[in-house]
Amino acid sequence: MKVLRLAPFALCATFLAMTAPAQTIQVSKENRTIAITATDKVIVLADVATIHIGFLAYGPDSDSAYATGSHTSNAIVKALTTAGVPSDSIESENQNVSPVQEYQIDKLTPAEKAQRKFQVTQSWTVRTNADDAAKVLDVAVKAGANQSGQIDWSLKDENSSQSEAASKALQRARVVATEMAKGLNATLGALLYASNETQAEPPRPLMRAMGGAVPMAQKVEPLAINPRRIEKTATVYAVFAIE
């Protein structure tokens, strides 16, 4: 539901001064105005996906774990670039080689514990077109990225949708001000002042990370992933003259 708030308006005997950069607006007998606060929004489909991918690998000692991690790391990046992802769209997030804590493997057999003394983790973000998100995630997971899945959705042109929301809010303010002027047996005049306040976007749910590698005994299709809709909201405070 669209939110609309009407600010008090002043006529004749009331005096009001509003300060803006290089501009002072006065409401008086000589300068009658109506002030409106209006909110509107636009909803657009995301066209950019930032995919979080990573892996977890183990080894009986630090060197073995690192060697396994190095092989997996390079295999993932190679698979992505081979699939057409530009190298500058792949950015490292973190990487770590560390001993495995006992509580993490206390339910494993002695043989399994011996093979999991050290662990290697690494993660990246991959920026791609929203329509290619499923393909990129699929390529990474099948190359060994067993800790992947979170996707952040965004727009290539954030300003365009924000400007559209502000324009819609200003139009709404003008419509309401026109009706108010009619109620006062007056005519709405020129726009004297306007300010735009960007509203925070609602949180977007993200995919859960995959806990393990996908079995490759049979052909596995990419996950069904659809771009999210992004809401841009703007609140406009507008002051109109009335005649």
Go through the domains of the chain in sequence order and give each one's CATH number: 4-45+157-201+233-242 (3.30.110), 48-154 (3.30.70.2970)
Q: Lowest-confidence range among 18-22, 59-63, 188-192?
A: 18-22
Q: Which residues pair with 34 in a beta bridge?
A: 240
pLDDT of 32 reads 86
| 206 residue type, one letter | L
Say what the pLDDT of residue 230 is. 95
Helices 62-82 & 133-142, crossing angle to 10 degrees? 140
Residue range 73-117, pLDDT digits in tens? 999 999 999 999 999 999 999 999 999 999 999 999 999 999 999
Q: 215 pLDDT band (50/70/90 cuts)?
A: very low
Give me the pLDDT at residue 168, please. Answer: 96
Give yes or no for a contact between 44 and 158, defined as CB atoms under 8 angstroms apart. no
Q: What is the pLDDT of residue 30?
A: 64
User: CA–CA separation, 177 vs 5, rounded Å?
Assistant: 12
Helix, strand, coil fractions of the chain, as percent rounded to 5 = 30, 35, 35
Give the pLDDT confidence of 28-76 residue by residue, as tens digits. Answer: 556 689 999 999 999 999 999 999 999 999 999 999 999 999 999 999 9
Token pair for 130: 């929203």
Residue 234 has pLDDT above 50, yes or no: yes
Q: Are 148 and 52 in contact (CB under 8 A)?
A: yes
Tell me the CA end-to-end span of the chain in Å, nearest whole number. Answer: 32
Percent residues over pLDDT 90 in the chain: 75
What's the confidence (pLDDT) of residue 18? Answer: 35
